[in-house]
Amino acid sequence: MNWFQALVLGLIQGLTEFLPVSSSGHLEIAKSILGVDPASSFFFTVAVHGATVLSTIFVFWKEILNLITGSLKFKMNEETSYTLKILLSMVPVGIAGILLKDPIERLFNGNLVFIGLMLLVTSVVLALAHFIRKGDRSIGYKDAFIIGIAQAIAVIPGISRSGSTIATGLMIGNRKEEIAKFSFLMVLLPVLGANLLEILSGDPSMNSAGWGSIIIGFMSAFTAGYFACKWMISLVKRSKLIWFSIYCAVVGLLSIFLS
């Protein structure tokens, strides 16, 4: 992997991790176009995912600090309740990661037809969230679990994680000002856990990216992710998800034709 490929893939990961367009689907398409072997970019993949987690922490550092300090009081308060909801939302994706790890990994094989079809599914979900009447309810424990199921389904490449979780929250009536923040905070521990498992179980020898490319990819993913995260919060508040629905439909069809 050269520096240009690393820069492009890092930017794509950073932008699409938070926008409702499927970062995994876009990365698979980009790797196919750029001629990057998915099986030989071990450290690079871990680095760019870690970069987007770090960008989320930078955006929400005040909220994260408040949740930690509030939960450490060991009494039921607003912060403890919110933390429990985040932990509850992580249960479905944890189960999927443990029971379906190998089948899920086999989906990341550069199959552009499959990715295109899943992007069309993402498009439909975003369109439904746009047209279904919105509610104004705070996120409850049942809501958190349902949103967590949407996150578990989004491990499939082409299904947008942020798109499916935000759209699900909107469709079940959650307040749009809250759902974007909840969607971004609920993914932090699962991504960190997945990265740790990849480091422990992966084969570091299967890595064609030099450290220079890894650093470039990390910095580009972090920078793009920081601004994309802040932008996405604003977009959800203004209810502009329909444009991403159209975009996913176009990219999904192009992916199918490109294959």
Nearest to 158 by CA among 32, 25, 11, 26: 25
The per-residue pLDDT for 39 is: 59
Phi, psi of 28 (to 5 degrees): -65, -40
Q: Where does the pLDDT of residue 235 fall: very low under 50, low under 70, confident under 90, or very high at 90 and above?
A: confident
Phi then psi for residue 83, to 5 deg, are -65, -40
Residue among 180, 166, 202, 160 nearest 47 (CA): 202
Integer Cα distance of 93 and 149 in angstroms: 7
pLDDT for the residue numbered 182: 92
Which of these ranges, 12-16, 160-164, 236-240, 255-259, has the smallest mean pLDDT? 236-240
What number is the average pLDDT over the span 169-179? 88
Q: Which residues pair with 174 in a beta bridge?
A: 137
Tokens of 249: 């439909």
- In this structure, of 14-28, 81-95, 134-148, 156-170, the range with the lowest mean pLDDT score is 14-28
94 token code pair: 């944890």
Least confident of 32-41, 153-162, 177-186, 220-229: 32-41
- Residue 239, pLDDT above cutoff 70: no
| Other beta carbons less than 10 A from residue 154's beta carbon | 25
Q: How many residues does the chain have?
A: 259
Q: What is the tens place of the pLDDT at every residue in 195-206?
A: 777 666 655 555
Q: Which two tokens stand for residue 37?
A: 């072997």
Per residue in 99-142, pLDDT (tens digit) is 877 777 777 766 888 999 999 999 999 999 888 867 788 999 99
